[in-house]
Amino acid sequence: MTIHYLIHLANYSDGVLYVMVAIMTIALAVIIDRFWYLRRTLLQGNGLVERLGACQEASRAQLGALAASGPDLPEAVLLDVAMRHIGITNGEQLANRLDEATLRMAPTLDKRLWVLDTIITLAPLLGLFGTIIGMFHAFSVLSVAGHKPTAVTGGIADALVATASGLFVAMTGLLAFNALNNKVRGVLHQLDIVKTMLLNRLDGAPVVMPADANARVNAELARAALVD
């Protein structure tokens, strides 16, 4: 299969195969970028989970050291939230704040996967469109006097290349999309583990009210004492 034949196939589909090459390039770029990011996040996140699991209690200094060891990790956001609320909130209130941080962070994990999802749906349709155009060219030979039957069958074979290309792009994208989604679920599972670990290790932390709240409580106690 020479380069001239490939150009012939692309031109036979009126340039649809050129578009197919472009979207395949985009799909590969998204796959490589997301695979590299999610793989690194999972590996470094596993190390952070192990180090946090080795801590019997979580102090502000320990959480700060863990967050500094992986500042770009999603788990670092949860550690930062826990550090800022040590001694202020715990239990269900802290769990709600950790859940909020996880929800705000989740869109960054599957970023650009929508592009891959779109390509998976678009590629077969685009391939079918290229095949239909090729069929027009193939059957247009019938209008020429003295045409050869092989010209029609050869044209149909060339037209089917577009459909095959679209299916290949879609199958490649689908395998990668499912694999990347599995890695995203793995990162979210790590975040749930870190959240549970933080709640367990901060469960005994005292709840300290802000200064203005303490003043209001003291005023109420003094007023109650006067009434008595």
Mean pLDDT of successive 10-residue stretches along the chain, which has 228 residues: 62 76 94 93 89 78 84 87 77 84 87 92 90 76 60 69 90 95 92 87 55 53 49
* Euclidean distance between CA atoms 228 and 47, whole angstroms: 59
Q: What is the pLDDT of residue 207?
A: 42
Q: What is the pLDDT of residue 70?
A: 82
Residue from 172, 174, 141 nearest 158 by CA: 141
128 is in which domain, residue-wise? 3-227
* Euclidean distance between CA atoms 112 and 118, whole angstroms: 10
Crossing angle of the two packed helices 91-109 and 74-84, in degrees rounded to 10: 150
Q: What is the pLDDT of residue 50?
A: 87
Q: What is the pLDDT of residue 118?
A: 94
Q: What is the pLDDT of residue 206?
A: 45
The total domain count for the chain is: 1
10 Å CB burial of residue 167 (0-12, 13-18, 19+) is: middle
Q: What is the pLDDT of residue 209?
A: 44
Q: What is the pLDDT of residue 146?
A: 57
Give the pair of three-digit tokens for residue 141: 């030979």
Q: What is the pLDDT of residue 217?
A: 44
Q: What is the pLDDT of residues 15-40, one digit of tens each?
A: 788 888 899 999 999 999 999 999 99
Q: What is the pLDDT of residue 227?
A: 47
